[in-house]
Structure 1
Amino acid sequence: MAGTRPRDQIRRRTLLASAAGAAAMAAVGCSRVPGGDALGRLRSQGTVRLGIAGEVPYGYVDEDGKFTGEAPELAKVIFKRLGIGRVQPVATDFSSLIPGLNSQQFDVVSAGMYINKDRCAQVLFADPEYQMLDSFIVRKGNPKNLHTYEDVVRSRARFATGTGYAEIKYAVAAGLREKDIVILQDQVAGLNAVESGRVDVFAGTALTTRAVVKKSSRAEATAPFAAVVDGKKKVDGGGFAFRPTDTSLRDAFNTEIHKMRDSGELFRILRPFGFTEAEMTTLTAKELCR
C-alpha cells in the first residue's frame, strides 16, 4: 500500500483485528445460531460480518483505515442486492479464517481464498470470482534463476511463503521439505525478507507478487506459472466461503456472481485491484473441490 510503511500496515491490521474481533465476540445475536435460514437472519440484522486477512489486493485495510479489496468490494455489491445493507470487517490471520467462520466469529470469508479439496471438506464455497497462477518474489535480476518450485528444490534456495498459503503444498509436492519452508505473515513480510537477503524467494499469487514489488528497487516478480502436483498443472480459483449449513445463502450469492460474470460487471469491480481479463474464469467450485 503506497505511502505506508510495512510496520505501520501490520500495526493497523493488528488494531483492526483486536477491535473487530471484540465486536464479533460481542455480537451473540441470531446470526450465531447454526443452520436455518442464514439469508433471512442476515436480512433481519441488516449486517453481514466478513472475515478478511489483510492481504492486498484481496481483502485489507488501506492507508486511510478503510477496509477494501476485490472481495470486500464485491461483497458490498452482492449483499446489498440480497437485502443486507451493511458489511462489517473482522480481521484475522489467514490460517484462522476457516476456524473463525465455523466458530461463528464472522458470517462469510471474504478474502479471495483458493478453493481446494481440503478446504471444501470444511466449508461451502461460492463459484470463484477469479483464477490465478503463482509467481515468486526474487532479488532483482533473479540471480538464482528461480521460475518454478522445481527450480527452488534444485538450487536449494531458501524458500518462504505466507501463513496458510496453498503454495506450501505446491512446494512440498515439488520435493521441498516442509520443515525447510519459512512461513511469513504476508507478501509484505515476504518482500522484506527477500530484499534483506534472509530468504531467496517468496511464493504467492501472481497478483500479490506483482503488486507488492512495484515500489521495490531490489526485488522483482517472476512470470506467472502453474504449479505441478501429481503430474498435473494447477490453476487455482478464489472465492467466498460459507459455513456448511448455509447452503441457501451460498446459492443466493452464487446467483448474483453468475449475473455479474455474464454482464461484465464482475471484471469492472476486480480490475482496479490489478486483475486482468485473463484472470476471469468460468471455473466452478465443484470442479475445484475435486
Structure 2
Amino acid sequence: MKKCLFYLSVIALALFVSVAPASAKTYVVGTSAGFPPFEYIQDGKIVGFDVDLMKAIAESQGFEVKFQDISFDSLIPGLNAGTIDIVAAGMTITEERAKVVDFTEPYYSANQALLVKEGSGNTLTVLFGNHNIAVQTGTTGDLWVEENLEKTGILTGKVTRFDTFVLAIQDLINGNVDGVVLDTPVAKRYAAEKPVVMVAEIITGEQYGLAVAKGNKELLEKLNKGLEEVKASGKMDELLKKYF
C-alpha cells in the first residue's frame, strides 16, 4: 500500500511539473534616459513613455523586461554585441540604421527643434555664422546639424557633442552654447521645466521605432504584434495623453 501511494505521489508530481508554466523570458531593453518624456530618471528609476510602452507590449506578449541606461551612441553597438535585446529610446528609423538593425513599425512621429536660453534674445539665427551649438552624439539632430550646417559652412562656430541631452541643456543654461538642436517633443518638455525656450521647429518628418538585432525575426514579430495590440486596446492613446 505504501509503495502504491509512493508511485501515485511521483506520478502526481510529474503531472504538476509538466503543466506548470515556464518562466517568462526576460529581455534587456537599452535606453538613454535623458530624453524626456520618452525616457528619463525620476526618483532613481527609469520612467517615461517608451518605458510604459515596452511594459505594455511585454504584458501583451507574455515576456518580462528590464531596462539598462546607456549612452545613445552605444545602443546599436550594444544591440549587435548582444548585451541588450531591444532598443527603446525614441530612435528615429533611418536607412543607415536599418542596415545594421531591424526596426518595428513606427510608433511616434517627430521633427527637430531649436532651444535657446531664456532671456538671451537668441532666435533661429544662432544656426548661422559664428555661433556655438550643442547636440547629443549619434542622434538625428547631430546628423542634421552636421549635414545641413557644418558641411555647408552655414554654421562656422563650434558644435559640441554630448552623451546626453541633460548635459547639453545644462551647457545652454550655463551660457556656454547658443542653442541646442533636439527632437521637438523633448524640446517642449525641457522648455516647460528649464529656463530655456523653443524658438523654431525644423521639419524633418521623422518616425520612431523599436529596434532589435538584425535578423531577429522572432522578437521583431513579438514587438510588432504587441504594438498592434497596444494600439487596438486603447493603451497607446492612454500613454500619449499621459505624456504629451
Residue type of the alignment partner of 1:211: R
> How big is the alpha-carbon RMSD for the aligned residues of Structure 1 and Structure 2?
2.1
- 1:261 is paired with a residue of what secondary structure? helix
Q: Map 1:229-240 onto structure 2 (within 5 A).
A: 234-240=204-210
What percentage of aligned pairs have identical amino acids? 23
Larger relative strand fraction: 2
Tell me which of 114, 118, 121 is aligned to 1:140: 118
Q: 1:70 to 1:166 in 2, by over 3 A?
A: same
1:48 is paired with a residue whose SS is strand
- Number of the residue aligned with 1:172: 146
2:41 equivalent to 1:61: yes
State the match for 1:224 in structure 2: 201
Specify the code of the residue in structure 2 equivalent to 1:61.
I
User: Which residue identity is paired with 2:227?
Assistant: I
Question: Per the alignment, do residues 175 and 137 of structure 1 end up closer, same or farther by CA in structure 2, a change over 3 Å counting?
Answer: closer
Q: CA deviation at 1:263?
A: 4.8
Deviations 1:142-179, CA, capped at 9 Å, x for gaps: 62321xxxx44434321110121111221122232499
Separation of aligned partners in 2, 1:59 and 1:216 = 17
The TM-score, its normalising length taken from structure 1, stands at 0.69
Of residues 103, 115, 120, the one that matches 2:98 is 120
Q: Does 1:243 align with 2:213?
A: yes
Tell me whether 170-179 or 94-103 shows the greater mean CA deviation: 170-179
Question: Helix, strand or coil: the match of 2:116?
Answer: strand
- Secondary structure of 1:224's counterpart equals strand
TM-score by length of 2: 0.81
CA distance in 2, matches of 1:158, 1:271: 35
* CA apart distance, 1:257: 1.3
- Identify the match of residue 29 of structure 2 among 47, 50, 59: 50
Q: Name stretches of at least 5 consecutive residues in structure 2 with no aligned partner.
A: 1-21
The residue type equivalent to 2:83 in the other structure is Q
Does the CA-based 8 Å contact 2:231-2:237 persist in structure 1? yes
For the 8 Å contact 2:126–2:178, the answer to whether it is kept is: no
Aligned CA distance change for structure 1 residues 142 and 272 (closer, same or farther; 3 Å):
farther
Q: Indicate the residue corresponding to 2:227 in structure 1.
A: 257
Could you tell me which runs of 5 or more consecutive residues in structure 1 were left unpaired when the two chains were aligned.
Answer: 1-42, 227-233, 275-290
> 1:254 Cα shift?
1.0
Q: What's 1:103 paired with?
A: 81
**Structure 2 equivalent of residue 75 of structure 1:** 54
Letter in 2 for 1:191: I
Q: Which has more radius of gyration?
A: 2
Matched, 1:92 2:70: yes
